[in-house]
Structure 1
Amino acid sequence: MLQRSRCALHLAGCAAGLLICGSAHAQSNVTLFGLIDGGLLYTNKTLNATTGGNAGKQFSMIDGGSSYSHFGILGTEDLGGGLKAKFKLESGFSIANGELAHCNGNLFGCEAWVSLDSQYGEVKAGLQFSPFFLALYASDPRHMSFFGSGGVNLVDNFLGTSIFSASSVSYTSPELWGLQASLLYSFGGNPGNFQAGRQYSASVKYEYAGLMINAAIFDGNSGSANPTPTPSNLSAEGRTIGAALKFGSLTAKASFVNYRVAGSFNNNVYGGGLAWYVTPTLDLDGGVWVTSDRNNTANHSLLAALGASYFLSKRTTFYAQVASANNHGGMNTGLSVNGALFGTHGTTMGATVGIRHSF
């Protein structure tokens, strides 16, 4: 009986030793993160969805005056030899009523992926942002603000398509001599049609001494085995080329984007602008985006916006933004992803003020 007890103690000690060794070898950490953004929106015109005319002025509280409110969990484990396992779960929500919002409408509808990252690049599987969207973000002078930015044009044309790619596998190369490339394939498939909902995207980026040049493509089929509350599976094609040049605290950006939806429209968007850190606590930016319908040049619009962000602390920012959208023909460019995504004929003016806190 005594011998059995000694054996049991010895085995328990070995197991504890293995656990301690394993913990020492595989360093891991899990981080809770998030951002909360709320603002007030005013527009002097609002699109009447029934008649297409002006429904009058609007003054409202919106969730996400500049960024989408979200929270998530990010985890990393060091597997040794330069190899890391990573995961991310991210959910969008509305501070106005607490419901799920912004992303594709599901609980973790922004991102939900696992990856292996090494000196040879990163392989990622799950719901993730497409290389096309990330390229658009990198070349937008207003950081894809929810109000008066290239993000308004993206959502106006594609809704959630090309932003959230479900059932995807991607590879991002390491940066070599300033070059980095990304490839993504999203598995669609319905019974009898494995190409339904299939998406692919690719991008290439070059950075050196303050200069950034990128290009990206997106191609997606309609239909999906993974339907979402916010449509993210239009039959659509996207092409973009962009550039950024940094001079100290001033950054200039420009881009060209083509949005094409099968059986609908084919729009070119030309954008550009400046971002300037006046002081470490004050950031000013502005941009202009011209949209032209290649199928009918009488349909065109001009969106212009200015924004100011004052950093009350490292995590809390007060912001104010003004914008104008001028629509001709059948074009309906709006001012804001939330509350004023689509605009009416003629000129619409608007403004937002709000506060953003990250954790």
Structure 2
Amino acid sequence: MVGTLLFPAAAWAQGSVTLYGTLDMGFLYTNKSLDVATGQNSGKQAELISSAMEPSVFGMQGQEDLGGGMKAKFKLESGISLANGGFDNSNENLFGRQAWVSLWSNYGEVKAGVQYSPFILALFDSDPRSMAQFGSAITVYANNTFSGTFNSNAISYTSPKIAGLTASAMYVLGGVAGDFHAGRQYSASLKYEYGGLMVNAAVDDESNSNDAAVNGSFFTQPFEGRTVGVAYRFATVNVKASFTNYKGPQMVVDGVTSGGDSNVWNIGFDYFALPELDINSGVWIVRDPHDSNNHSMTWALGTTYFLSKTTSLYAQIGVVNNHGADVYGLDRDGAQEGVKGTTMGASLGIVHKF
């Protein structure tokens, strides 16, 4: 077995294929936790979790020079749990995060396979906490939908940057025999960059999805999303703000109702106080445009200290305040849903990348 593993590794190196990964193990504490049976507070929780700040992943990627300025590329990426060794942060398949092949040239890149939508990538660009698993745009997103995150049967095109503008579009074929509309999805984004300024906008529309077999999870439910974001970098400080609207059906998972129609306002910053010390913070205000009683506020502050280029330590604190039907939580893996009122939490951990 050892020989079998070592021999392909040597061959991959010669073929310009790179093995990579991120391993995140952390400790999470919250002063409240959700009892899914009653919807009430079941008390404090303290747990060791995988991916307390970054998703733990393992993958391989590579490229081949085809000549004439054209390259063939590929990526296979799996989400893993350090807590139990199983799948995590993916669509529960072996390479459920990314599994695609592409052709790249000076005219842009055409990509086919499992991939992120332009919409989710725009949310990442506008997030002051880079979609940390604790207190960020991804914790808000997780309580509305995960549609647009890991898209199967997808074809996309991303343009080269022209006068600061980059455009991207994706089309998802549903793959359901006899029903062309089931699971169908569109997503597009436009980003402008000039100096320290970044402005982006994106849409995601899979509202025509109508097949129960396709729409059985947060990854493939009917959904519409719109976002616009702006960022400006002042030396070592990057200030970001965005507005996003999510529209999707309300879903009940483990007794918890999520989804619906939500407007989300966000502002925050990312500051490298030292070359080895990063500090970032953000606040997310969520409101139901049809019922003002449903609203939520999430605030988080995180610090990362880089021990080396590949290993870092982190500490995060956060607060979420829920009203009405909102059940937003602080952490994607350990506390995705919360309870009414105010919940405070913190996490500590280590990240190693290879």
By the TM > 0.5 criterion, same fold? yes
1:99 matched to 2:86: yes
Give yes or no for contact 2:183–2:215 (8 Å, CA) kept in 1: no
TM-fit CA distance, 1:52: 1.2
1:127 matched to 2:122: no
Deviation string, structure 1 residues 260-319 (Cα, Å, up to 9, x no partner): 003661100000101100000000000000000112111001100000000000000100
Q: Distance in 2 between matches of 1:227 and 1:320?
A: 38
Cross-structure match for 2:263: 268
1:291 matched to 2:286: yes
Q: Distance in 2 between matches of 1:232 and 1:177?
A: 35
TM-fit CA distance, 1:162: 1.0
TM-fit CA distance, 1:191: 3.0
Q: Which of 309, 318, 329 is the matching residue for 1:323?
A: 318
TM-fit CA distance, 1:189: 3.9
Give yes or no for contact 1:105–1:230 (8 Å, CA) kept in 2: no
Give yes or no for contact 2:209–2:215 (8 Å, CA) kept in 1: no
Alignment of 1:70-85 (within 5 A): 70-85=57-72
Letter of the structure 1 residue corresponding to residue 162 of structure 2? L
Q: Which of 174, 185, 188 is the matching residue for 1:199?
A: 185
1:338 matched to 2:333: yes
1:139 matched to 2:126: yes
1:117 matched to 2:112: no
Q: Which of 170, 179, 203 is the matching residue for 2:165?
A: 179
Give yes or no for contact 2:78–2:97 (8 Å, CA) kept in 1: yes
Letter of the structure 1 residue corresponding to residue 27 of structure 2? L
Deviation string, structure 1 residues 192-244 (Cα, Å, up to 9, x no partner): 32100011100000000110000000011435698599641110000000011
Deviation string, structure 1 residues 28-67 (Cα, Å, up to 9, x no partner): 5110011000100000000111211101000001110101
Q: Distance in 1 between matches of 2:217 and 2:130?
A: 22
Q: Distance in 1 between matches of 2:205 and 2:216?
A: 21
Q: Distance in 2 between matches of 1:71 and 1:82?
A: 29
Gaps of 5+ in 2: 1-13, 251-258
Comparing 62-71 with 188-197, greater Cα deviation is found at 188-197
Change beyond 3 A, Cα 1:252–1:230: same
Cross-structure match for 2:55: 68
Cross-structure match for 1:257: 244
Cross-structure match for 1:19: none
Number of residue-to-residue matches in the alignment: 332
Structure 2-normalised TM-score? 0.91
1:188 matched to 2:179: no
Q: Distance in 1 between matches of 2:317 and 2:210?
A: 38
1:235 matched to 2:230: no
Q: Distance in 1 between matches of 2:195 and 2:89?
A: 35
Change beyond 3 A, Cα 1:268–1:228: closer
SS where residue 291 of structure 2 aligns? coil
Q: Which runs of 4+ in 1 moved over 2 A?
A: 189-192, 221-231
Comparing 329-338 with 260-269, greater Cα deviation is found at 260-269
1:356 matched to 2:351: yes
Q: Distance in 1 between matches of 2:238 and 2:285?
A: 20
Comparing 260-269 with 84-93, greater Cα deviation is found at 260-269
TM-fit CA distance, 1:100: 1.2
Letter of the structure 2 residue corresponding to residue 331 of structure 1? D
Q: Distance in 1 between matches of 2:352 and 2:214?
A: 32
SS where residue 262 of structure 1 aligns? strand
Q: What percent of counterpart residues are identical?
A: 52
Change beyond 3 A, Cα 1:45–1:97: same
Q: Which of 42, 48, 61 is the matching residue for 1:55?
A: 42
Q: Which has the higher strand share?
A: 2
Q: Distance in 1 between matches of 2:316 and 2:231?
A: 22
Letter of the structure 2 residue corresponding to residue 282 of structure 1? L
Give yes or no for contact 1:106–1:229 (8 Å, CA) kept in 2: no
Q: Distance in 2 between matches of 1:85 and 1:226?
A: 34
Structure 1-normalised TM-score? 0.90
SS where residue 297 of structure 1 aligns? strand
Q: Which has the larger radius of gyration?
A: 1
Q: Distance in 1 between matches of 2:202 and 2:93?
A: 27
Q: Distance in 2 between matches of 1:286 and 1:200?
A: 31
Letter of the structure 2 residue corresponding to residue 152 of structure 1? T
TM-fit CA distance, 1:342: 0.8
Q: Distance in 1 between matches of 2:130 and 2:237?
A: 14
Give yes or no for contact 1:166–1:226 (8 Å, CA) kept in 2: no
Change beyond 3 A, Cα 1:93–1:226: farther
Give yes or no for contact 2:265–2:285 (8 Å, CA) kept in 1: yes
Gaps of 5+ in 1: 1-26
Alignment of 1:16-27 (within 5 A): none
